[in-house]
Structure 1
Amino acid sequence: MINILVTIGVISGLSTILALLLTIADVYIADYGEKKIIINGEKELIVDGGNTLLSSLVGSSIFIPSACGGKGSCGYCKCKINNGAGPVLATELSYLTDEDQKNNVRLSCQVKVKEDMEIEIPEELFNVKQFRAIVEEAQDLTDKIKFLRFKIIDGQEISFKAGQYVQLIAPAYPGNKEEVYRAYSIASSTKHQDYIDLIIGYVEGGILTTYVHKHLSKGDEVSFNGPYGDFYLQNTDAEMVMVAVGTGMAPIRSILYEMLDKGINRRAVYFFGARSKDDLFMLDEMKMLEENLYDFKFIPTLSRPQEEDDWEGAKGRVTDAIAEYLDEAPNREAYLCGSAPMIDSTVKSLLTKGFSEDRIFYDKFE
């Protein structure tokens, strides 16, 4: 038995040493020199070879969405690499469909720049910028959800569409050894280009949510980049159905203020899900919007109301409220924000109400 354990220990030790030597060799011995990246057949970058495509682009102030901070665990940083990518890696396979692989789509955080490349990215990513800001407001909305207002400094302004998101950067802090960034929807109106509002929930063990809830205070400086995303208010006259839970309030709030500030007269109903009355927030704002928007109704629904809540409103999940309060009608659009299970179940409910799938827009938290 002892001999077996010793053998296992020796093999594990040798494997660790070999992996370390390979890493050192890749970093210090393999000199790839300067490499050229051609973007969309027009823009040319010269970068140091050996780094990931994602970090090479970020180093040239071209920001690709990456909710996991480049660790290969979100699949957001896809881009088309027509030449120079090398074979698809095992770390990419779970995020690439057969169609992706057929069309040369790869994860930019996993592909290293070892030779000249030709890539394609959406043109709007050239408008993404890095911003520095000061925490102007920091307010607890519930025991786990915080409202933040970031006042942009250095004379910059941000131009975005209502519903889009930014990537907030957390520096190293006690308990976190390296810089990380995560995606959060903008909660403010597009008319305010000198600040953004965010609504961030606390997740036990979450690196960035711990930074926000435990380390970030009013007056602190933060960095973020953006805007990103194809979830935003569409320019139509369709009746609107909005559905969100928890911090999914953020992009819906941005859309509602966009409608208020620009005088957009569209009938709208907003189903907001929470567990108990203590988990509801911004009720005064919703009441103000009901009074000032053209034809807007806010319907909060509680899935686990407490006896002391004395709740007389809608009960159950948001899908239950949709089934009860929403009639079938033509010319409607839906805007959803929340977890993947919530989005999936809500889409099914809306389809039973006659919605067309191509008019259901959503921001799905992975």
Structure 2
Amino acid sequence: MGTIVITVGAISGITGVLAFLLTLAKNTIGNYGEVIININDDEDYVVDGGDTLLSSLISQKIFIPSACGGKGSCGYCKVKITEGGGPVLPTELGYLTPEDMKENVRLSCQVKVKENIKIEIPEELFSVREYEGKVSKIIDLTPTIKHLTFDIKEGSIDFKPGQYVQLRAPKYKGSDEEVYRAYSIASSPMLKNKLKLIIGYVPEGIATTYVHHHLNENDEVLFNGPYGDFYYQNTDREMVMVAIGTGMAPILSILYHMVENNIDRKATFYFGARYIEDLFFVEELKEIEQKLPNFKFVPTLSRAKKKDGWTGDIGRVTDAIDKYMENGENKEVYLCGSPRMIDSTVETLKEKGIPENLIFYDKFE
């Protein structure tokens, strides 16, 4: 019995010592004190050292694009570091071009702020704001896709059709971390006191699980934006729009903008889905065809079932493009979808003669 007591006491003692050492390490080795982030050789911001540059900037209400929520898997949160920041990490290398390396561009989600640091960011990011909203409507578009409408509680939002915001997913049962995820705006730029998003469910996705299983009408939300250089270009070229799934969101925003401003450019929207139950907003897009006589909506199913009686196009969006587009002369393209879809579609379009500088795209995972 005495041996057991001694053993238990020894284990407890060791555990206590380890806990003390961990606390000591946290408060000494990991404690960098207050550090200064200087932005554009202008404003200084004092933050607690030790956190990532991305998180430190968020704490000062300066929002950097980050589609993956700071996980180092999207490469969007690039900033130029002119002083401090430490060496480039292996986790950054896959997202930095040789030009980035030469210009000291880094991923802000991977850089730890351990010392005073100087950075450069585009001036337009200072106009990015955080908004409080209230969920006024949630509609199930498909079994895995929801359409959400937020009423903005104070102020209004100005954005270009095609841009996106970052929605905050707070801690909830099953997730002990707060994250931000990027979602394209699906509403008209003229609708300044509301915001609409189309969000699909990703199994085990922190933000999509929050939206699909925890977010309810009348709940309050936080989001920031707008972001992105994917948006409507005011030219006279014919427009080719291509999307799959939730990639329809920014295309809808562009089409609403065209309807409300009587922009009747020739345009074709190729939308891909697997099954007929994956199609949504079909009637609304047909109505847009009536409002814009030079616009045509072409949905296509890659796995159409005979029992559904589908009479439209069958195959991938690239098949529809091959079928209906003769050449790429005087055309510009707007793509939104998965990296695989974007890459294959870009190759098809280049074969049609569309130069790469006229192919605008927004990839999402």
- Alignment TM-score, normalising by the size of structure 1: 0.91
Q: Secondary structure at the match of 1:46?
A: strand
Change (3 A) 1:134 1:248: same
Corresponding residue for 1:347? 346
**Contact 1:272-1:300 at 8 Å conserved across structures:** yes
Corresponding residue for 1:336? 335
Corresponding residue for 1:267? 266
Moved more, 71-80 or 310-319: 71-80
Deviations 1:72-96 (A, max 9, x none): 2332211110101111123322322
Letter in 2 for 1:169: R
**Contact 2:264-2:295 at 8 Å conserved across structures:** no
Corresponding residue for 1:357? 356
Q: How is 1:53-92 mapped onto 2 (pairs within 5 angstroms)?
A: 53-92=53-92
Letter in 2 for 1:34: E
Deviations 1:130-153 (A, max 9, x none): 111011110000111110001110
Q: Secondary structure at the match of 2:326?
A: coil
Corresponding residue for 1:311? 310
TM-superposed deviation, 1:212: 0.7
TM-superposed deviation, 1:295: 0.8
CA RMSD of aligned residues (A): 1.9
TM-superposed deviation, 1:22: 6.9
Corresponding residue for 1:146? 146
Corresponding residue for 2:192? 193
Change (3 A) 1:21 1:273: farther
TM-superposed deviation, 1:32: 2.8
> In structure 2, how many angstroms separate the alpha carbons of the residues matched to 1:71 and 1:21?
28
Deviations 1:261-315 (A, max 9, x none): 1111211000000111111100111011000014100000010101112111111
> In structure 2, how many angstroms separate the alpha carbons of the residues matched to 1:52 and 1:27?
17
> In structure 2, how many angstroms separate the alpha carbons of the residues matched to 1:18 and 1:79?
38
Q: Secondary structure at the match of 1:363?
A: strand
> In structure 2, how many angstroms separate the alpha carbons of the residues matched to 1:20 and 1:78?
38
TM-superposed deviation, 1:26: 4.6
TM-superposed deviation, 1:99: 2.4
TM-superposed deviation, 1:364: 0.7
> In structure 2, how many angstroms separate the alpha carbons of the residues matched to 1:300 and 1:226?
30
Q: Secondary structure at the match of 1:92?
A: helix
Letter in 1 for 2:121: I
The percentage of aligned residue pairs carrying the same residue is: 62
Letter in 2 for 1:339: S
> In structure 1, how many angstroms separate the alpha carbons of the residues matched to 2:26 and 2:174?
28
Letter in 2 for 1:168: L
> In structure 2, how many angstroms separate the alpha carbons of the residues matched to 1:314 and 1:20?
66
> In structure 2, how many angstroms separate the alpha carbons of the residues matched to 1:338 and 1:19?
47
Letter in 1 for 2:238: E
> In structure 2, how many angstroms separate the alpha carbons of the residues matched to 1:69 and 1:341?
21
TM-superposed deviation, 1:23: 8.3
Change (3 A) 1:196 1:80: same
> In structure 1, how many angstroms separate the alpha carbons of the residues matched to 2:273 and 2:245?
6
Change (3 A) 1:19 1:200: farther
Q: How is 1:162-173 mapped onto 2 (pairs within 5 angstroms)?
A: 162-173=161-172
TM-superposed deviation, 1:65: 1.3
Letter in 2 for 1:347: V
Change (3 A) 1:25 1:164: same
> In structure 2, how many angstroms separate the alpha carbons of the residues matched to 1:138 and 1:320?
33
Q: How is 1:244-255 mapped onto 2 (pairs within 5 angstroms)?
A: 244-255=243-254
Unaligned runs of 5+ in 2: 1-13
**Contact 1:276-1:309 at 8 Å conserved across structures:** no
> In structure 2, how many angstroms separate the alpha carbons of the residues matched to 1:77 and 1:186?
19
Corresponding residue for 1:283? 282
Tell me whether 1:226 sits opposite 2:228 in the alignment: no
